[in-house]
């Protein structure tokens, strides 16, 4: 991170599913937004205390258990506002009362740090990414050299294909991807690296993408993921 940025993103890897939990720290106010609090809330709170942060916001990329199981414990300590997409609130059967619901494209003001919301369906109907400066926190939408499953309830490979195409078209090549799980040989990657090495970014039609995502990938490719050259997706 460059010193002139108004924020720092702190990363914790927690739990048996190698989840990344992020804390976005606004320097001007010492407010923090925690993204997908889960598994080891004492570790999250200890990091906030060490850095002098107050958690005022909880941002959810989606509502699967491995990304939300620490919400209640965070709320026991902090009077934080919960944020998620409206489509995810409607999908999430156990949705906590009175979250702030977003539609994608709006901005959360964390002190001097703007956090832009992106609606990125595919893994779930209301999956979200959060754009902070040059960083994009992607949850289970986009992994380093991978993407989220579409065979769980609410998943849709055609939506995922459209989402990834939109991200490829609209995000600058230097955007730093911060995924929801540590499934690759590196923890972050630029969008340019994704375009070149993520097999899910290589398909030019949804039928081929859906076949690869739903029927081929998980039986032939295993973490930690490395880059795959375009044209070699079915060789991995």
pTM of the model: 0.96
In the residue annotation, 102 being an active-site residue is answered as: no
In the residue annotation, 62 being an active-site residue is answered as: yes
Q: Which of 1-15, 78-92, 130-144 has the lowest mean pLDDT?
A: 1-15
In the residue annotation, 103 being an active-site residue is answered as: no
Q: Does the pLDDT value for residue 202 go beyond 50?
A: yes
Residue 51 lies in a domain: yes
Residue 21 lies in a domain: yes
% residues pLDDT > 90 (the chain): 94
> What pLDDT score was predicted for residue 99?
87
Residue 184 lies in a domain: yes
Residue-averaged pLDDT of the chain: 96
CB 95 within 8 A of CB 89: yes
Tell me the pLDDT tens digit for each residue of 206-220. Answer: 999 999 999 999 999
Residue 202 lies in a domain: yes
Residue 220 lies in a domain: yes
Residue 108 lies in a domain: yes
What's 134's DSSP letter?
T
- Per the residue annotation, which of 123, 135, 202, 217 is the catalytic one? 123
Residue 2 lies in a domain: no
Asked, as a colleague might, if the bond just before 224 is cis with ω within 30 of 0, I would say yes
Residue 27 lies in a domain: yes
Tell me the pLDDT tens digit for each residue of 134-180. Answer: 999 999 999 999 999 999 999 999 999 999 999 999 999 999 999 99
> What pLDDT score was predicted for residue 235?
81
> What pLDDT score was predicted for residue 236?
62
> What pLDDT score was predicted for residue 4?
83
Q: What is the total count of domains within the chain?
A: 1
CATH number for the domain including 202?
Answer: 3.60.15.10
- Per the residue annotation, which of 25, 26, 57, 67 is the catalytic one? 67
Domain that holds residue 176: 7-235
Task: Spell out the alpha helix ranges (H) of the chain.
Answer: 41-50, 65-68, 71-77, 86-91, 157-170, 191-197, 206-211, 217-220
In the residue annotation, 217 being an active-site residue is answered as: no
Tell me the pLDDT tens digit for each residue of 120-130. Answer: 999 999 999 99
- Per the residue annotation, which of 25, 57, 62, 202 is the catalytic one? 62
């Amino acid at each position: 991170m460059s010193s002139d940025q108004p924020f720092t993103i702190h990363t914790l890897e927690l739990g048996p599913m190698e989840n990344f939990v992020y804390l976005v720290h606004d320097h001007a106010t010492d407010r923090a937004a925690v993204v997908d609090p889960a598994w080891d809330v004492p570790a999250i709170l200890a990091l906030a205390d060490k850095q002098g942060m107050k958690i005022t916001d909880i941002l959810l990329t989606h509502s699967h258990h491995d990304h939300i199981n620490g919400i209640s414990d965070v709320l026991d300590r902090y009077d934080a506002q919960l944020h998620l997409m409206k489509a995810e609130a409607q999908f999430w059967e156990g949705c906590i009362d009175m979250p702030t619901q977003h539609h994608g494209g709006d901005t959360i003001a964390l002190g001097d740090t703007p956090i832009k919301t992106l609606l990125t369906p595919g893994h779930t109907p209301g999956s979200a990414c959060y754009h902070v400066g040059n960083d994009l926190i992607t949850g289970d939408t986009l992994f380093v050299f991978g993407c989220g499953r579409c065979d769980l309830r609410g998943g849709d490979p055609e939506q995922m294909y459209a989402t990834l195409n939109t991200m490829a078209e609209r995000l600058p090549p230097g955007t730093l991807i911060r995924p929801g799980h540590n499934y690759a040989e590196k923890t972050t990657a630029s969008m340019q690296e994704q375009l070149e090495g993520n097999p899910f970014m290589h398909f030019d039609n949804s039928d081929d993408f859906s076949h690869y995502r739903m029927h081929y990938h998980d039986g032939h490719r295993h973490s930690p993921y490395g880059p795959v050259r375009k044209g070699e997706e079915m060789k991995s």
